[in-house]
Structure 1
Amino acid sequence: MPSKIEYTKLDAIALDPLNPRLGRTAHSKDLAQDQIYDLMKDWSLEELATSFLESGFWPHEAVLCIEEKIGDKDLVVVEGNRRIAALMRLRKTYAGEETSRKWLEMIEGVPQPAGLFDDVPFIRYADRGEVDAFLGFRHVTGIKEWAPPEKAQFIAKLIDDKGLTYREVMRKIGSKTDTVERNYIAYRILVQMEETEGLDAKEVENRFSVLFLSLRSKNVQKFLGIEGKFGIEPKDVKNPVEDENLDKLKEFSLWLFGDQETAPIVPDSREVDRFARVLASTEGLDYLRSVRRPSLEKAFIIAGGDQEQVYDLISTAAYNLQEALSSIHLYKDDEKLLAISKRMIANADQIRKTLEIE
Structure 2
Amino acid sequence: MANKEKITIKLNNLKFDAQNPRLPMRLQGVTDENKVIDYMVKYGNVTELMLSIGETGYSEAEPLLVVKEGTDKYIVVEGNRRLAALKLLNDSELTKVRIQSINSVVSGAKYIPEEVPCIVYASREDVLDYLGYRHITGVKDWGALEKARYLDQLYQIHIKSTPQEKIYQKLAKMIGSRSDYVYKLHTALKLYNKANDKAYYGADIKEEDISFSWLTTALGYYGISKYLGISESNEPSLDTLNEENYKKIFTWMFFPGKSVVKESRQISDLAKITEYPLALERLEKGSSIEEALLYTSEPSDAFIDMLKKAKQQLKQAKEGIEQLSEEPPEAKELIEDIERLLKTISGGLEANFGKDNSNSDLLQQLASDPETLAQLKKLLGK
Taking structure 1 as the reference length, what is the TM-score of the superposition? 0.73
User: 2:47 maps to which residue?
Assistant: 46
8 Å contact 1:278–1:305 — kept in the other structure?
A: no
Question: What's 2:148 paired with?
Answer: 152
Distance 1:175 1:203 in 2: 31
| Separation of aligned partners in 2, 1:99 and 1:159 | 38
Matches within 5 A, 1:230-269: 230=232, 232-234=233-235, 237=236, 239-240=237-238, 242=240, 245-258=242-255, 262-269=257-264
* Equivalent AA in structure 2 for residue 33 of structure 1: E
**1:84 alignment counterpart:** 83
Contact residue 49 and residue 86 of structure 1 kept, 8 A: yes
> Secondary structure of 2:117's partner?
strand
Q: Could you tell me which amino acid in structure 2 is paired with residue 269 of structure 1?
A: S
Structure 1's unaligned 5+ residue stretches are 312-352
Give the aligned partner of residue 295 of structure 1.
Answer: 288
- Report the 3-state secondary structure (helix = DSSP H, G, I; strand = E; otherwise coil) of the residue aligned with 2:27: helix
Q: Kindly tell me: are residues 112 and 94 of structure 1, through their superposed partners in 2, closer, same or farther at Cα, counting changes over 3 Å?
A: farther
| Equivalent residues of 1:62, 1:122 under 8 A apart | yes
- The verdict on how the C-alpha distance between 1:2 and 1:47 changes in structure 2, with shifts beyond 3 A counting, is farther
Secondary structure, counterpart of 2:76 in structure 1: strand
Greater C-alpha Rg: 2
Alignment of 1:200-211 (within 5 A): 200=202, 203=205, 205=207, 206-211=210-215
Deviations 1:111-130 (A, max 9, x none): 655xx20x311010122100
Letter of the structure 1 residue corresponding to residue 144 of structure 2:
P
> In structure 2, what is the equivalent of residue 172 of structure 1?
174
How far residue 34 of structure 1 moved from its aligned partner, in angstroms, is 2.1
Q: Supply the AA of the counterpart residue of 2:295.
A: I
Q: 1:73-112 residue pairs with structure 2 within 5 A?
A: 74-93=73-92, 100-108=99-107
> 1:304 is matched with which residue?
297
**How far apart, in 2, do the equivalents of 1:208 and 1:154 lie?**
14
Structure with more of its chain in helix, by fraction: 2
Could you tell me how far 1:44 is from its partner in structure 2?
A: 1.5
SS at 1:22's partner residue?
A: coil
- Cα deviation code 1:62-116 (max 9, x no counterpart): 10001235xx962010111111111111011499x99834343334465655xx2
In the TM superposition, what is the alpha-carbon distance from 1:50 to its structure 2 partner? 2.9
Q: Cα deviation per residue 1:117-152 (whole Å; 9 max; x = unaligned)? A: 0x3110101221001122112221123222221111
Aligned to 2:224: 220
Following superposition, the deviation at residue 201 of structure 1 comes to 6.4
Identify which range, 100-109 or 270-279, moves more after superposition: 100-109
Task: Give me the CA root mean square deviation.
Answer: 3.5
Q: Percent identity?
A: 26
CA deviations on 1:221-252 (whole Å, 9 max, x unpaired) are 1111213xx2x322xx2x32526x22222222
Q: Which of 189, 192, 216 is the matching residue for 2:191?
A: 189
Cα 1:271–1:84 shift into 2, 3 Å? same
Aligned residues: 301
Assess if the C-alpha contact under 8 Å between 1:193 and 1:200 holds in 2.
no
Cα distance in 1 between the residues matched to 2:41 and 2:280? 46
- 8 Å CA contact 1:5–1:121 kept in 2: the answer is yes
